[in-house]
Amino acid sequence: MRRTLAGHAAGLFRAPVLCVHSPLAKALSLCSVLSMLTFVAAPLQAQAATGSATSYSIESPKAVKNLLLDVAAVGKRLVAVGDRGHILYSDDNGANWTQAKVPTKQLLTAVFFVDDQHGWAVGHDAQILASTDGGLTWVKQFEDLEREAPLLDVWFKDPNNGFAVGAYGALLATTDGGANWEDVSDRLDNEDGYHLNAIVAVKDSGLFVVGELGGMFRSVDWGQTWETLQGPYQGSLFGALGTNEAGTLLVYGLRGHLFRSTDFGDSWQQIELNTPNNGPLKFGLADGNLLADGSIVVVGHSGTVLKSTDHGRNFNLVNRADRLSLAGVAAVDNGNLILVGQGGVHVASPTGADLGQQ
C-alpha cells in the first residue's frame, strides 16, 4: 500500500540515494541528501534478477522492532516489509512474527497481495520480489542497479497483470505475473521525471497514480493509456486510496493535506483534520487502507491515525502517545489495527490508540 516525504535519516540508508519523495518518509519526516546520482530513464525490457550471488536478508529477532514501511492482510495472515530486506509474517493477529528468508538486503518500501497466495514487494535497486505461498517464501523477479533509485509502490489486477511505480517517474508493467517486467514510463506525460509515490485501483473507474508536486494521473483502461490531471494541491502526495463507493478516492500527503473525490479525480474536496486543542493537523500522511468492514484508516507522522466510517467524508483523529511515525496499517478480525513504521510493529485498538486506552 501503499505505502513520500523526501529522504531519510542517514543512519538508515544502506546505500547513497538522491533525496526523493519515497516511502522512507512514511516513517521519518527528515530529508538528507547523501549524494547526487544521475538516472537515465531509457525504456528497456525487464532484466532477470540473475547473474550475481544472492545476498539474503539477515535473520534477527529484533527485526519486528526495526523500521517497517508497509503491511498487508493476506487472508488470516499479516505480511510486513521494511529495512534491510526484512519480510515478517504473523498468523496470530500480530502477536508473534516470523522472519521469512528473503533474497535481498535492500530496503523494501511496499507490499501488495492480489489474493491469499500471490504477492509482490518492491524496494531499492528497483527490486521486485514475489511470493506464491502467501508470503512464506520469496524470489527476486527483477532489479535494475543502473537506475540507482527505488520503486515505491506495486499493484496487481490479477495474478498476471500488474504495475510498479517509483522514483524519477518509473512505471513498470508485467502481463505474466512478473516473469518479465517492461518499462512503460513513456505512457505518462511526465517529462521531468517527477517521482511516483503510489498506484491504486478506484472502484468501477480504473487506476490512479499520485506523486511529487501534487502529480496525478488516471487510467480508465487499467494502465494502457493515462491522462494527466490538475490536482487541488501543489505539494507532494504520498498516497491514494479507493473506497467502497464507485469513482471515489482519497489522496493525501504533506502537512496533513487530505482530499476526497467522488468523480475519479475531476473535482476535489479538502477534508478538514483538526487535532484536539491544537488546531489543524500539520503532520504528513503516509499510507492508508480500506478495511474489510468498509472503514478507512490513514496513518502518518508523529503517531497520527485517522479513521473514517463514512467512506472518507469525516475522520476521527488520534495522535498516539509514543509519537512514532507510522508508515502502514492493516486490521485483524477482532478489529484491532496493526501499525508499522518507526519501532516496527505496533498492535493498536480499532481507533489507533494503545490497547487499553481506547
Alpha carbons 306 and 298: distance in angstroms, whole number: 5
Q: What distance in Å separates the CA atoms of residue 321 and residue 341, rounded to the nearest whole number? A: 15
How much is the mean pLDDT over the chain? 87
When divided into structural domains, the chain yields a total of 1
Give me the pLDDT at residue 28, please: 36
- 271 within domain boundaries: yes
357 lies in a domain? no
**Residue 356 pLDDT grade (very low, low, confident, very high; cuts 50, 70, 90):** low
**Nearest CA to 250 among 276, 234, 269?**
269
Q: Structural domain of residue 113, as residue ranges?
A: 10-36+63-348
Is 42 among the domain residues? no
What integer pLDDT is reported at residue 265 of this predicted model?
A: 98
The answer to whether residue 126 is domain-embedded is: yes
- 57 within a domain of the structure (yes/no): no
CATH of the domain at 168: 2.130.10.10
Q: Is the dihedral of CA 98, 101, 107, 109 positive or negative?
A: negative
* Beta bridge mates, 251: 240, 259
Q: Which of 304, 310, 225, 230 is nearest to 26 (CA)?
A: 304
Decide if 253 contacts 235 (C-beta within 8 A): yes
Based on its alpha-carbon atoms, the radius of gyration of the chain, rounded to whole angstroms, reads: 18
299 assigned to some structural domain? yes
What cell was used for 283? Answer: 503532520
Helix (H) or strand (E) holding 151: strand 151-156
Which residue's C-alpha cell is 526495526?
66
* Percent of the residues in the chain that have a pLDDT greater than 70, as a whole number: 85
With respect to residue 49, please indicate whether it lies within any of the assigned structural domains.
Answer: no
Using one digit for the tens of pLDDT, what is the confidence trace for 152-195?
A: 999 999 999 999 999 999 999 999 999 999 999 999 999 999 99
Res. 57: pLDDT tops 60: yes
Q: Check whether 34 has a pLDDT greater than 60.
A: no
pLDDT computed for residue 357 by the predictor: 60
- Using an 8 Å Cβ cutoff, are 345 and 70 in contact? no
**What pLDDT score does 52 carry?**
60
pTM for the structure as a whole: 0.87
Of the candidate ranges 6-15, 22-31, 291-300, 332-341, the one whose mean pLDDT is the lowest: 6-15
- Looking at the domain assignment, is residue 22 inside a domain? yes
CB atoms within 10 A of CB 52: 8
